[in-house]
Amino acid sequence: MPVYEGEFRTQAGQPVPGGLLRNGPVLPVEIAVPSALSRFLSARNQQIPGPVAGFALIDTGATRSCVDNQVISSLNVNPIGITTLGTARGRSQHHLYPAKFSFPAMRFEIEFGSVVGVDLSGQGVGKMQIIALIGRDVLSRCILIYHGIKGSFSLAL
Partner 1 sequence: MELEKELEFFKSQYKELISHYENQFVLIAGDKLLGSFTTDSEAYEAGLEQLGNQPFLIKRVVKGEDIDRAPALVLGLLNASI
Query: Using the rule CB under 8 A, is 59 a contact of partner 1?
Result: yes
Query: Using the rule CB under 8 A, is 135 a contact of partner 1?
Result: yes
Cα 2 from Cα 97, distance rounded (Å): 26
Taking Cα atoms as reference points, which of 44, 12, 48, 8 lies closest to residue 32? 48
The single residue among 85, 105, 144, 156 that binds partner 1, judged by CB under 8 A, is 85
Site for partner 1 in 136-155 (CB under 8 A): none
- Determine how many CB atoms are found less than 10 A away from the CB of residue 80: 12
In which order are the strands placed within the sheet that holds 3-7? 3-7, 152-156, 143-147
- Which range touches partner 1 (CB under 8 A), out of 8-16, 31-39, 47-55, 101-109? 31-39
Query: Using the rule CB under 8 A, is 81 a contact of partner 1?
Result: yes
Contacts with partner 1, residue ranges (CB under 8 A): 21, 24, 34, 36-37, 40-41, 57, 59, 61-64, 66, 76, 78-89, 91-93, 95, 98, 111, 113-114, 116, 118, 120, 123, 130, 133, 135
